[in-house]
Amino acid sequence: MLKKFTVSNFKNFKDEISLDFSKIGEYSFNMDSLSMRLIYGRNATGKTNFGRALLDIKILLYGMQSSGLINEDGAAKFKYEFKFGNDEVVYKYSRFSNTELCDEELYINGEAIIKCDFKNSKFDFQGLSIISAETVNTNRYVNKDEMDNEYVLPFLRWLINNTAFSDDSVLIQLFEYVRKMDMITVGHDLLYSNRNFFENLKNPAYLHNFEDFLNLMGIECKLVLQELPDGQVELYFSQNKLVPFYSTASSGTLALTSLYQKIVSNLSLIYLDDFAAFYHYEMAEKLICYFKDKYPECQFIMTSHNTNLMTNKIMRPDCLFILSSKGTLTALCDATERELREGHNLEKMYISGEFEKCE
């Protein structure tokens, strides 16, 4: 799991900002919320940018398209702290642009595994013996032609691709976790359904599960999938007659559908941006409860303006955060001198200005 993430000099986050999953308060209620973080903030405080920064490690280690949001006046610095079983993993790096890697370091249980200073061509690989990778030919990496190009391949990515680690290796666990991280902007592509979704719906069990999901969210319906004469398939509401799903469903139902087809069961961490923008607060509450029940092993970070969700009924003060225009991220339990308890009306306190100093 991700324990803590820290970034600086990324877009509007000039100073260091962190999100710490391991920092929890002394609350005994809603223990199933500990894998969730709900972030509030005024418009343009950087909620979307924070998600992009968090997913930067996936761009780095899997060669995905960059977000292009690194500032030009210095290196953006990223630090990820993970825990896999009894192992603590720290991976940090910095880069001057979206392609120019500055340095890279990896630590396992406090011991340095690699240290790479690309700007000064200094490399320390002595810790590779700790992970039984001392026989890997690091000269192939240091002397390869790519080192002279603008793009520097991260050593950790090169190491994984050129070393046969066992399946239970902490590095394999790290790469699998990163691969399963995702950022989803709720409500985008409302009228869009990808081909894989329709292929999945051909499975009666999947169609039934999707129908159950909508009904659980309060949308009472019966769904039917039919094949058209041209071989394509169409989804319908089954009422007195068949009604095309995508042309008649409400924006809220389409937003739920978009979310359902984007979230797969084996994700490790999901950053849900603009969560609850299309949903009534009761439906948003049901979604959070659904995530807790359906994906107990997945970590969720959600951003929202919906203060109805700022409640101890489904969340807790150490899982609710305020992102300020100054680039600080503060848990509600740390945003006031008052000791927050289960009976407090957090939404009312927020609206009345109790946490205003942290906005």
> Domains of the chain: which residue ranges?
2-25+48-181, 185-358
- List Cβ<8 Å contacts ≥24 apart for 210-213: 210/257, 210/260, 213/256, 213/260, 213/290
Cα-Cα-Cα-Cα dihedral of 48, 56, 35, 272, to 10°? 30
Rounded Cα distance between 256 and 214, Å, is 8
- The first and second tokens of residue 350, run together, are 């927020």
CB of 41 closer than 8 Å to CB of 324? yes
Report residue 245 CA to chain centroid gap. 30
Strand partners, 7: 17, 78
Rounded Cα distance between 105 and 107, Å, is 7
Q: What's the one-letter identity of residue 326? A: K
pLDDT of residue 123: 96
CB of 280 closer than 8 Å to CB of 253? no
Give which of 5, 43, 54 is closest to 271, Cα–Cα: 54
Q: Could you report the per-residue pLDDT of 288-333, keeping only the tens digit for each?
A: 999 999 999 999 999 999 999 999 999 999 999 999 999 999 999 9
pLDDT of residue 170: 97
pLDDT of residue 252: 87
The answer for residues whose C-beta is within 8 angstroms of residue 31's C-beta and 6 or more apart is none
Rounded Cα distance between 256 and 245, Å, is 13
pLDDT of residue 63: 82
Identify the burial level of 305 via C-beta atoms within 10 angstroms of its C-beta, where 0-12 means exposed, 13-18 middle and 19 or more buried: middle
Low-confidence ranges of the chain (pLDDT < 70): 64-72, 98-99, 145-151, 187-194
CATH entry 3.30.1490 includes domain 185-358: no
Give the helix, strand, coil percentages of the chain, each rounded to 5: 30, 25, 40
pLDDT of residue 67: 57
Strand partners, 209: none
